Structure 1
Amino acid sequence: MSVRPPLPYEFLPPVPSFVLTSQDLSEGGTLADEFIHGGGNLSPQLAWSGLPEGTRSVAVTCFDPDAPTGSGWWHWLALNLPADTDGLVRGAGSSDADLPGERSFHVRNDFPGKQYDGAAPPPGAPHRYAFAVHALDVDALDVSADTPAAQVGFHITFHTLARAVITAEYGV
């Protein structure tokens, strides 16, 4: 039996949570083909409520801690969503134009693309995909679309007031 690496949020300072739901994902469920890289490659629908007072922007990420890299694999980083955003429609990860707000944009993921790129694990055990919504204390993170994902993760962590996560799986 192989041991799975922990989710990255287990190592970070604890923060409050809020309500995160999805018509497309369920905690511990399996990603449908429309959300995998070799399928439809669409980002799932997400909705959230209960962001804490002081939230000035929102970031949405998807991370695979089970990727055989020693550092996981970033699938999605959408930044600088307005604080009054309460969700993303299915497919909003396809381009910057599909994100709400004038300053919202995607950061280069590990494929590398500047969009959502779905699950694409090597054959073997299923991988976990942590879809996280981060309530941030700044209007905009001081990063560009070409900032490495790990560095963006650092900035997100430093400015997180609260976080909610849904983790789904996919394997071949």
Structure 2
Amino acid sequence: MSEGDSVVLNCNTSGKNTTQITWTKGRFKFAWAVQLQQNFSNFSDRVTIDPVNKTKLKIVSAQLDDSGLYTCEITDNRGFNSITWNLTVFKKVFKKETSLLSNVVFILPLAAGFLLCCITAVICLCRKYGTRTENQNPFQDQFQSQTQEAVNMQLQGGTNHQRNKRRREYMERLNSIYDHS
């Protein structure tokens, strides 16, 4: 039984021809003299005898110190009978109740931290790969603008002399970009 529970011990006798009922536990004793209608008890207030049926011992809100051997002796015309119980009271283990609010209070900071880490990682990756593509080929933008300029010149037309001059300038720029002489 767990601490705080109640228990009833019963001698299971008919009560006919009973002259005395005695309950004992260590130094505690309850004695009921049937013919004299008198009793004696030094049990605590939590341990009581049923006022109608003296063969029942009730322990209300059992405590650890209530553990032990309880004996009921019934004396009648034929002698006496004895019944013994070994009562063990265990310390009650309280399970901590968790509410939804306490779960939210615990999970919310974890989720916020995880989200912050993810955002930081995405920003770092974007900066890293964004910088790499810009610096990967520094001449690419210049080459594209020169190529576009050459295409525009051809589309616009012009004299052969102007075209040749522009081609030469284009080739010189192109060679200086790729370091060809």
TM-score, with structure 2 as normaliser: 0.31
- Structure with more relative contact order (C-alpha pairs < 8 Å, separation 6 or more): 1
Max radius of gyration: which structure?
A: 2
TM-score, with structure 1 as normaliser: 0.32
More helix by share: 2
